[in-house]
Structure 1
Amino acid sequence: MQWLPRIAIGLLSVGYPVAVYLTLQHAGTSAAVWLLVPIGILHGARALRGQRSGWWWLTACVVLTAWSWFQQSVVGVKFYPVVMSLGLLAVFVWSLVFPPTVIERLARLKEPELPPSGVAYTRQVTWLWCGFFLINAVIASATVYAQDWVWTLYNGFISYLLMGLLFLGEWLFRHYYRSQHDD
């Protein structure tokens, strides 16, 4: 059941921009602030079960919620995708400093005996994802002060589309690369 909070957090995070947009259009800023609460609660549950990253994410949700509530501003609410990108960037960079990398761990699920060339390749892919998360955080932060529909379009659609394209492009390249190298 450890995976259940992660799936719930993932689903809530993916749907978050659209939920924020609809809430802002129909109920206002005060109601939108409360959209961070269920995500924070789920992160808190992970933290209580001993997952260190849960404390970081819980703290981020509490800070963003408090900021938006006390300022009666949607800025904290709109900053969640920025925090998500920076958090994922931190996880990927951490894995570069303290291997195995995130991508290597995922690769070893399918291929436990990953050759040295595979380890080197997964390290390069991890760098690529680091670049993506950094650029995504910059763009997401630029949309925080934009109109609500612009913020929602980028954070609720375009960023996921770009992520999917990067994933697909890397998958296609990996298969081409493996066909050219026989290890």
Structure 2
Amino acid sequence: MLKFKTLAVAGMIAALVLGLSANAFAFFGSDKFEAEVEKEQGAVKLLREVQRGGYDVMTTTELKAALEADKNILVIDTMPYKDSYAKGHVPGAAQFLFPIEDMNEWNAEATDGKTMADYEALLGPDKNRTIVVYCGFVKCTRSHNGAAWAKKLGYTNVYRYPGGIFAWKGAGFPEESVK
């Protein structure tokens, strides 16, 4: 009888431990699923911005290769000058501030007082020139505004580099800064 009670208690403890372990595994394992939902939401948001803006996208390695192959590419950093661009940017990139919020109408206040004509002057007269616009990181939408406005102004070869300066640095590629 004592053996039976001991065995029963051991069985209950084992069941309890296994039950808790399964719950703990399910609890801790759910993080990877939640992270996947967040990735999916980010990917869909990016896709919809690209579709709405009518431009294409470029990866970090594609941008690096394009810069090495073609010296006529215009790369535009849309981050704030002092807080970001001056500290580090893709080599040769020009700076033109765009807001994070969708800029459906030109807003000189949101572009540091610059006009649409200022942006078009930066882009230049060649409407077929390759233009690559970036900001800080994938979730940042300043680059969407910059690329969308280049398309609105009639430029045909416009790319958004969604990884931005964080992906550039993450790849270990050299950057420039303003001294």
Indicate whether the TM-score tops 0.5: no
Which range, TM-score by smaller chain? under 0.3
Higher gyration radius (CA): 2
Relative to its length, the structure with more strand (as a share) is: 2
Please state which structure has a larger fraction of its residues in helix: 1
TM-score normalized by structure 2?
Answer: 0.21
The answer to which structure, 1 or 2, has the higher relative contact order (CA under 8 A, 6+ apart) is: 2
